[in-house]
Structure 1
Amino acid sequence: MLIVSKYLVPKGYRGLTVFPFVFLKQRESVADAVLLNHEKIHLRQQLELLILPFFVWYALAFLWHFSKEQDAKRAYRAISFEREAYANEKDLHYVKQRSFWKFLKYFG
């Protein structure tokens, strides 16, 4: 489900996924296939980890990388879930052919 709301997406981001919703900051983003694919990858990751553990792992990974990087943007980009999504967001067939727990390839 797509929801457009400039108030629910943090500053500096275009989208946010919390299963089963994809929140977009701007209405124009509904037509952005690459952004939507990035968010679909997160939907799959969240399902694989039964949703709540995904967010716990995500938060702990962010804190770990932030403690090393001392930079929020770099810490965010270092999270394995984000690394997988950014690496494959332009492949619009990726979600259909993606193997289970593929994000582990981007861990570490």
Structure 2
Amino acid sequence: MIIVSKYIVPKGYFGLTLFPFIVLKRKELLFNKILVNHEKIHLRQQLELLIIPFYLLYFIEFIIRYAKLKDWQQTYRSISFEREAYINEQDSKFLKKRPFWNFINYF
């Protein structure tokens, strides 16, 4: 389910996924197929890892990478879950052919 809320999405971002919701900052972003696909990839990742472990792994990976990179944006883009989503966000058929636990290939 997709909801629109400028208050939930952090400054500097257009959307985020909090299972089972995709939250977009503005209504017109509902028509941005690439962004919506990116967030759907995160839904799949969260479901695969049974939700809570996804958030734990995401947070741990962020902390480790931030300690090395010391740059918020660079760290965010280097997280394995984000790399998988960014690399495949333009492929509308990606989720149909994506293997289980595919994010591991992006570590």
Could you say which TM-score interval applies, normalised by the shorter chain? Answer: over 0.9
State the one-letter code of the partner of 1:66: Y
Corresponding position of 2:4:
4
Whole-angstrom CA distance in 2 between matches of 1:49 and 1:22? 17
Q: What is the CA distance between 1:21 and its match in structure 2?
A: 0.3
Q: Residues 42-81 of structure 1: matches in 2 within 5 Å?
A: 42-81=42-81
Partners of 1:81 and 1:43 lie apart in 2 by 11
Aligned equivalent of 2:32: 32
1:65-104 aligned at under 5 Å gives the runs: 65-104=65-104
Instruction: Give the fraction of aligned pairs with identical amino acids, expressed as a percent.
Output: 58
- What is the RMSD computed on CA atoms of the aligned residues? 0.4
Displaced runs of 4+ in structure 1, greater than 2 A?
none
Secondary structure of 2:6's aligned partner: coil
Q: Which residue of 1 aligns with 2:21?
A: 21
Q: Which secondary structure state, in structure 1, belongs to the residue aligned with residue 23 of structure 2?
A: strand
